[in-house]
Amino acid sequence: MLNIVLFGPPGSGKGTQAEKLIRKYGLIHMSTGDILREAISKKTPLGVRAKEYLDKGELVPDEDVVNMVIKKLDAEKDPNGFIFDGFPRTCGQARVLRNLLTDRNTRINVMIALEVQEEELINRLLKRGRESGRSDDQLSVIKNRIAVYERDTYPVIDFYQKMRKYRSVNGVGTVDEIFQRIVEVIDQMK
């Protein structure tokens, strides 16, 4: 199995690159943000609980997120692997993911972190907000999401660096340029 953590701040292009990677490598897209937005639109009990966190740009509690991940991991029969996009977002989630994968006789091969400066992130997210109407893409919420990233999520790099699985990729350029950089990293370690 090829399991990749695609990491980076909000607006770094994880979702866009994940879509291309799943096609190239035949992987399953594990986007906790997408699962949460679907639950919110269906008004499931999880969706109702999660909405207030998303609206403020706060993290949904680990327990809910981990349960979603377990459900999707176990729903797939004989997968080639997963792209984790937006998960893990805390060191606690990273430890749980390691244990979940160990229990399933697999592991994370690499963590790819997309590097983009804050000003560029804000511009990209404001543009996405205008185009898609995504409710958490407005300036005050964007700023909180970036602050939460720096406080709770950025330290996850250390977890993967200690295991020599962390690779940093320049996330500025065209979609195809960035994709090529990521593919190079994956193909080097395969």
Active site residues: 14, 89, 128, 134, 145
List C-alpha distances in Å: 5 to 41, 72, 139, 146: 26, 15, 27, 19
**Segment interacting with ligand AMP (CB under 6 A) among 57-65, 71-79, 95-103, 115-123:** 57-65
- For residue 49, what are its two tokens? 């609980």
Supply the minimum distance, in Å, between the C-beta of residue 2 and ligand AMP: 20
DSSP code at position 13: S
83 binds ligand AMP (CB under 6 A): no
Are 88 and 62 in contact, with CB atoms under 8 Å apart?
no
Sole binder of ligand AMP in the list 6, 59, 142, 169 (CB under 6 A): 59
**Segment interacting with ligand AMP (CB under 6 A) among 20-28, 73-81, 82-90, 171-179:** 82-90
Q: Given the complex with ligand AMP, which of 129 and 187 has the nearer CB atom?
A: 129
Are 108 and 3 in contact, with CB atoms under 8 Å apart?
yes
Sole binder of ligand AMP in the list 51, 124, 145, 181 (CB under 6 A): 145
DSSP per-residue codes, 76-142 = SSS-S-EEEES---SHHHHHHHHHHHHHTT----EEEEEE--HHHHHHHHHHHHHHH--TT-SHHHH
**Segment interacting with ligand AMP (CB under 6 A) among 29-37, 159-167, 170-178, 181-189:** 29-37
Sole binder of ligand AMP in the list 86, 97, 146, 166 (CB under 6 A): 86
DSSP per-residue codes, 16-80 = HHHHHHHHHHT-EEEEHHHHHHHHHHTT-HHHHHHHHHHHHTPPPPHHHHHHHHHHHHHHSSS-S
Sole binder of ligand AMP in the list 2, 4, 21, 54 (CB under 6 A): 54
8 binds ligand AMP (CB under 6 A): no
65 binds ligand AMP (CB under 6 A): yes
Per CB under 6 A, residues contacting ligand AMP are 10, 32-33, 36, 53-54, 57-60, 65, 86-87, 89, 93, 136, 145
